[in-house]
Amino acid sequence: MTKDNELKHIAIIMDGNGRWATRRGLPRSLGHKKGAEVVKNITRAAAEQGIQYLTLYAFSTENWQRSPEEVSYLMTLLREYLKSDLTELRDNQVRIRFIGERYMLAEDIQQMMCDLEEETADFTKMTLCIALSYGSRQEIISAVKKIAQSVKSGDIPLEDIDINLFSDMLYTKGMPDPDLLIRTSGEKRISNYLLWQLAYSEFEFTDVLWPDFTPEHLHQIIENFKTRERRYGKV
C-alpha cells in the first residue's frame, strides 16, 4: 500500500435500520437496537485493523423531523449506549468525540457526552467520532460566522483565510479528513454529512443494511480501498 492510499480515517453513514426491521415484520425500534449492537462490533473491528479514526453518522439534524415516538426511542437508546460503553472503550483504549449541534439534545445526554470525552481523552489506539444532531451545512455556516466575527474584530486578517484555517473552525478540528466513506443500505448520497471533509475521500456504497454489516464486510471494503489509486487531481 502506497502513502497516497494509506487508510487512517473511515466515515460511515449507518443506514438501513428501519428497513431491516420492516422487512422482518418488526418495529423500527428493533432495527435501531440491532444497529446499535453493530456499532460496537464495527468499532472493535476498525481498531483491530489499525484504523486511527472512525466517524459514525448516528443522528442528523434532519432526523429530528421523524415521529416523536421514534426520536424518543433513539434518545433512550443513545442514553443506554453512553452509560454502558465506557468499560469497552477503556479496555480498547478508544477515545470518543462527538460532533454536532449539542444544544438540541437533552441536558443529561449533553453531560454524558462531555463525561465520556473527558474520561477517554488520553486514549490513543483509535478515535471514535460520533456525529449526533449533526448537519454539515450547519457546521459550515457556523465556521463562516466564526471567521467573519474574527475578521470583524481584527483577530484574523482577511488574507490569512485559507483551507487550513477554515478546517480548524469545523467540529472535526484536529482530525484528518476521511480517506474512505462507507454508506450502507444501497443509497448513493451523502445526506449533508461531512461535505467539506469528504472533498477527496473514496466512496463505497454497499447494499448491505447496517444491522447486517459485519467486520468481514468492513475488512473486504478496506482491502478494496487498498487497490484504488488516489491522485488528488495529479496525473
Phi, psi of 191 (to 5 degrees): 50, 55
Catalytic residue among 63, 92, 177, 192: 63
Q: What strands lie across the sheet with 180-183, from one edge to the other?
A: 94-99, 126-134, 53-60, 9-13, 180-183, 202-205
Out of 4, 5, 15, 212, pick the active-site residue. 15
Q: Give yes or no: 179 in active site.
A: no
The runs of H, that is alpha helices, within the chain are 17-23, 28-48, 68-84, 86-91, 107-119, 136-153, 163-168, 215-226
- Whether 168 is catalytic: no
Grid cell at residue 41:
462490533
3-state SS of 79-140 is HHHHHHCHHHHHHCCEEEEEECCHHHCCHHHHHHHHHHHHHCCCCCCEEEEEEEEECHHHHH
- Dig out the grid coordinates for 97 from the structure: 468525540
C-alpha pair distances (Å), 89 with each of 47, 117, 121, 127, 213: 11, 11, 11, 10, 21
Which residues are annotated as catalytic? 15, 63
